Amino acid sequence: MNEKTADISFLLKINALQACKTQLRVSSSRFFASEPQTFDLKPGGNNVQCDLKINNPDLWWPNGSGKSYLYDFSFKLKSESDSDQWLMNPVGLRKIELVTDKDKDGQSFFFRINGRPIFMKGANVIPPDHFLPRAGDQGWLDLVKQAVDQNMNMLRVWGGGVYPPDAFYEECDRKGILVWQDFMFACAMYPGDSMFLENVNHEVREQITRLRNHPSLALWCGNNEIDEGWHNWGWQKEQNYSAKDSAIVKSFYDQLFETNIKSLVDELDPSRRYWPSSPSIGWGHAESLKNGDSHYWGVWWGKEPFDTYAKKVPRFMSEYGFQAMPPYISVAEFCGAPYLQLNSPAMKNHQKHPTGYETVTEYLNREYRPWKDVKSFGMISMALQCDAMKTAIGAQRKARPYCMGTLYWQLNDTWPVVSWSSVDYYHRLKASAYLVRELYKTAILVTDYNRESKMLDISVVSDSINSFRARLELKLLTFTGDVKWTYMSDITVESNQSSRVLAKKMASILRLVDTTQSVLSVRLIASNRSLFETTVYFCQTKDMKLTRPSFSLKHKPGIEGKVVFEVSSPVLAKFVEITYKQDPSYFNRNYFDMLPGEKYLIFVNPDAPLGEETKGISVQSIVDTY
């Protein structure tokens, strides 16, 4: 298949009551009906192949790369005595390849769609509720909506959950969200007896035949972290396995994941790749950064600093993350006022990691000042999660084409909990959801500032198929708004590339300011519009001399027929949270840094229960947590 011609083969099963000659015609709303094809049917089941050629097809593309075009196909059967017809679910025409070639660095891992390498931006998803009927189809549809809202093009269905319903894949087809599909095996070794293998055979066969026609389905993966667990987690020692025991259990693994499931994928869906286990190599091994996909947990589990993400970039990051509490209104909802203490049984029971609060606290103490209460702890934990995500996503996108994917853990929660998610159980956005929306834009700036060498490095990363001219704008300000230095440069944003656009020694410039009270504003401007903006600081947050902002908030009428507010501050406001009755979910922008004196427009979501009055809206910043 290419942009000029698509050759399609339909494999149909036709049941006939008696032997007969029948004509089959395929039609679509996009073109006239095909010429009829004649088949001789025998009584009972008949497997029939019908071929069709489409000239100048409209191709299916992932979100952000083009339109996710779908074709409808209907089939009409007619014999001398009977007729029947069937309407197929809409399908997309596209060619998808997982490229895992040996190269000078190791082994690549990237997806090529319709001949074009595409960087994957997404997250891992888990079931939307512990009680699946309570979530229904809508719970899964909401996950796809969140993916689109965060500018994603791929979701990984994690192998420790369940197979999503048809509605999920149909929505992914419509919205251009590729699906990395794990089979439902995770974090444990499995039996190898004939009854179990037969059960798995039925399950896998059913899922492949159910899902294989979806254009959004990108990859079949055998399991989550079983290969890594077997080699790196000490299971044999824990279970006191002998060498003979280990060999038997490993042979069960090989039979199931290297042979049985692979052969079923090859038989039933030969156009798609099968990947036996994710990750292909554990994160504690240097080879994991050079070959295949990686789950990197040196940050969080290993308690390594965030800048480790910039030093340890894999070929494809299929899992990584950092915890944050959900918005305070959610914590109060699942815990209750009497138990809002980190050491209370209720708060401990709603923590997904045995030392989660201790780990977050250790990281917080490195960068932030002591917090005054649980509400403040929660807000700073979201800021910390953003720090981790910004470093990781920036490093991974900057490293293209060496690295060609970033799927963070995790998009959602299955119950009210403190976890690694960016959207909590109640569908309220954490700060990281707003940040990811920016970091997954088509074109972004990645800034690196080394506090020791005082070297500033800026790269522009673009997933666009077109190059374009833009302007890089830098402005060094004090926290009270005095401009001390500016820099502008016209640049070319190259298509599908990461390019360094500035490498500058900042030592002489920073002598003009107190670095504990200064910020560097960095913006990418094209066609008189800001495409991306970020900030660079020159010391840790706990060392910044921040003052409490006095926010101005007022309604701005007549903008696109929407409810819009303008917010500003005369001084720098770091990590600004805007809430309505303590809920931050009603606004299109939240948890961002406000430069002194600048005016920011905040759009209210259409379904938000507030109008033009500012009553009930509160604005605070990181200073309010101390």
The tens digit of pLDDT for each residue in 147-193 reads 999 999 999 999 999 999 999 999 999 999 999 999 999 999 999 99
HSE-up of 611 (CA within 13 Å, CB side)?
1
CB 82: neighbour CB atoms within 10 A? Answer: 12
More confident residue, 80 or 276: 276
Reported as a pLDDT band with limits 50, 70 and 90, residue 52 is confident
Residue 167: the pLDDT is: 98
For 602-619, the pLDDT digits (tens) are 999 988 888 888 889 999
Query: For helices 328-335 and 374-398, what crossing angle results, to 10°?
Result: 130
H/E element holding 605?
A: none
Residue 32: the pLDDT is: 62
For 342-391, the pLDDT digits (tens) are 888 899 999 989 999 999 999 999 999 999 999 999 999 999 999 999 99
CA distance 46 to 40: 9
User: Are 422 and 323 in contact, with CB atoms under 8 Å apart?
Assistant: no
Locate 426 and state its tokens: 């109640």
Percent of the chain with pLDDT strictly greater than 90: 86
Residue 318: the pLDDT is: 98
H/E element holding 408?
A: strand 405-408
Secondary structure of residue 211 in the 3-state scheme: helix
Percent of the chain with pLDDT strictly greater than 70: 99
For 511-560, the pLDDT digits (tens) are 999 999 999 999 999 999 999 999 999 999 999 999 999 999 999 987 77
Instruction: State yes or no: pLDDT of 80 exceeds 70.
Output: yes
Q: What are the structural domains of the chain?
A: 5-91 (2.60.40.10), 96-322+392-439 (3.20.20.80), 443-543 (2.60.40.10), 552-625 (2.60.40.10)
H/E element holding 68?
A: none
Instruction: State yes or no: pLDDT of 6 exceeds 90.
Output: no
3-state secondary structure 126-181: CCCCCCHHHHHHHHHHHHHHHHHHCCCCEEEECCCCCCCCHHHHHHHHHHCCEEEE
User: Are 192 and 251 in contact, with CB atoms under 8 Å apart?
Assistant: yes
Reported as a pLDDT band with limits 50, 70 and 90, residue 33 is low
Residue type, 193: D
Q: What is the DSSP letter of 256?
A: I
Beta-ladder partners of 469? 492
Instruction: State yes or no: pLDDT of 405 exceeds 70.
Output: yes
